[in-house]
């Protein structure tokens, strides 16, 4: 069989016909830290965390970018780091700012995020991905290393956190949390793509089994604890949520992850609704953009480009019952509080989310 490679739109994802899905995980690994001179990270170029210096480019459609939007809002970094929101679809070149007036980002003045990549690396050879952080003055990309971006938001941008910002990386839980997040990433976050972009029936069957083994593990874990690490939200919950919120609208059908919908798994479905109804989570989600991205951009999987009308979304606001397990989203004993209202200009389009009726 001819070894045919098809490029996809999700962080350098690709599939070889007859083979298992692989993901390009080579990113720009520069970091933005509180004090570059005091950092022990000698492997990467370090930039100083300064308010107003950087712009987060994060498409609502993308699960990896959605993480950054959630963490930025939970920590109250809106005044420190502005946000650019590309539209849900793109071509082979990159994400575009087609939702902005004139088709250009109002701060960076560019039509495509690739312009910021090429500003820094004129011959950049890898995927043009979001989230990306751009240095506003130079217009050059700083990093697109999505797991490090949110970890550094929590650990390195503390001087700019809002009063009452939650501790998303509790030190006493970090070792276990990293293990949990690693399994969530390899088996669930990436597992749905492994199913959707499988290059053979054998590869798909293996991917499907791995995904559902992991989802069953999380379903069991959530039977006795309100959140993945216990009584309060952490980064681990952010990382799982962005896959769960896309599961029934996209992954169940489009990626053939169809053993059962999320709504039939009592613990995961209750947990997902609990998070969705928590300020900072559901108010970043645009279901219409999510569906348009996957069903329009993935032409090899959905050649007609038809975007499904369903599923109904009102059930995301139904009672979840997770309070019975104790705990609360924010650790009030440690002074944590919910973020305030969504900032002007950062609302999800009305009708694209049950929190924002048409």
- Position 16 scores a pLDDT of 54
Distance CA 168, CA 353 (A): 25
Is 276 part of any domain?
A: yes
CATH code assigned at 256: 1.20.1050.10
Contact 150, 176 (CB under 8 A): no
**What single DSSP character describes residue 227?**
B
- For CA atoms 332, 167, 275, 68, give the dihedral sign: positive
Both 315 and 181 in one domain: the answer is: yes
Angstrom distances, CA of residue 174 to CA of 93, 177, 236, 244, 326:
38, 5, 10, 22, 21
Both 186 and 309 in one domain: the answer is: yes
Q: Which among 199, 215, 302, 211 has a CA at the least distance from the CA of 254?
A: 302
Number of domains in the chain: 2
Q: Which among 23, 67, 53 has a CA at the least distance from the CA of 234?
A: 67
Distance CA 192, CA 211 (A): 7
Distance CA 179, CA 228 (A): 12
257 is catalytic: no
Which residues pair with residue 5 across a beta bridge? 16
Both 212 and 97 in one domain: the answer is: no
- Position 23 scores a pLDDT of 72
Q: Which among 197, 149, 145 has a CA at the least distance from the CA of 26?
A: 145
Both 140 and 211 in one domain: the answer is: no
Both 328 and 186 in one domain: the answer is: yes
pLDDT tens column, 77-100: 999 999 999 999 998 889 999 999
Low-confidence spans in the chain with pLDDT less than 50: 1-14
Both 143 and 216 in one domain: the answer is: no
- Boundary of a domain, candidates 130, 160, 190: 160
Is 356 part of any domain?
A: no
- Boundary of a domain, candidates 160, 195, 230: 160
Both 66 and 178 in one domain: the answer is: no
- Position 342 scores a pLDDT of 98
- Position 17 scores a pLDDT of 59
pLDDT tens column, 231-268: 999 999 999 999 999 999 999 999 999 999 999 999 99
Contact 23, 190 (CB under 8 A): yes
Q: How far apart are the two ends of the chain, measured CA to CA in Å? A: 50
- Position 93 scores a pLDDT of 87
Distance CA 356, CA 350 (A): 5
pTM (2 d.p.): 0.94
Both 79 and 44 in one domain: the answer is: yes
Residue of 54, 117, 193, 294 with catalytic role: 193
Is 110 part of any domain?
A: yes
Both 152 and 259 in one domain: the answer is: no
Share of the chain above pLDDT 70, in %: 94
Cis peptide before 344 (omega within 30 of 0): no
Residue of 62, 117, 204, 294 with catalytic role: 62
- Position 213 scores a pLDDT of 98
Residue span of the structural domain in which 233 resides = 174-334
193 is catalytic: yes
């Amino acid at each position: 069989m001819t070894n045919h490679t098809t490029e996809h739109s999700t962080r350098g994802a690709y599939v070889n016909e007859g083979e298992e899905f692989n993901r390009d995980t080579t990113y720009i690994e520069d970091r933005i830290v509180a004090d570059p001179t005091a950092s022990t990270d000698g492997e990467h170029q370090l930039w100083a965390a300064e308010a107003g210096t950087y712009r987060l480019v994060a498409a609502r459609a993308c699960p990896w970018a959605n993480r950054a939007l959630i963490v930025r809002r939970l920590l109250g970094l809106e005044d420190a780091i502005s946000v650019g929101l590309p539209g849900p679809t793109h071509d082979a070149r990159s994400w575009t700012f087609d939702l902005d007036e004139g088709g250009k980002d109002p701060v960076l003045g560019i039509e495509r995020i690739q312009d910021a990549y090429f500003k820094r690396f004129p011959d950049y050879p890898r995927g043009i991905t979001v989230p990306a952080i751009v240095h506003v003055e130079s217009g050059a990309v700083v990093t697109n290393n999505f797991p490090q971006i949110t970890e550094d938001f929590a650990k390195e941008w503390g001087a700019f956190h809002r009063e009452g910002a939650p501790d998303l990386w509790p030190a006493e839980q970090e070792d276990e949390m990293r293990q949990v997040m690693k399994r969530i990433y390899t088996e669930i976050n990436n597992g749905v793509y492994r199913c959707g972009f499988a290059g053979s029936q054998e590869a798909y069957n293996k991917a499907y089994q791995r995904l559902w083994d992991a989802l069953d593990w999380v379903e069991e874990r959530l039977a006795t604890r309100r959140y993945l690490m216990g009584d309060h939200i952490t980064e681990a919950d952010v990382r799982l949520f962005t896959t769960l919120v896309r599961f029934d609208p996209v992954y169940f059908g489009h990626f053939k992850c169809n053993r059962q919908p999320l709504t039939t798994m009592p613990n995961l479905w209750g947990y997902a609704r609990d998070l969705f109804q928590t300020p900072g989570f559901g108010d970043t989600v645009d279901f219409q953009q999510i569906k348009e991205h996957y069903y329009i951009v993935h032409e090899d999987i959905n050649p007609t480009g038809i975007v499904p009308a369903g599923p109904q979304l009102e059930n995301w606001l139904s009672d979840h019952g997770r309070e019975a397990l104790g705990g609360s989203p924010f650790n009030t004993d440690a002074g944590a509080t919910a973020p305030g209202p969504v900032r002007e200009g950062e609302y999800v389009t009305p009708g694209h989310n049950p929190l924002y009726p048409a």
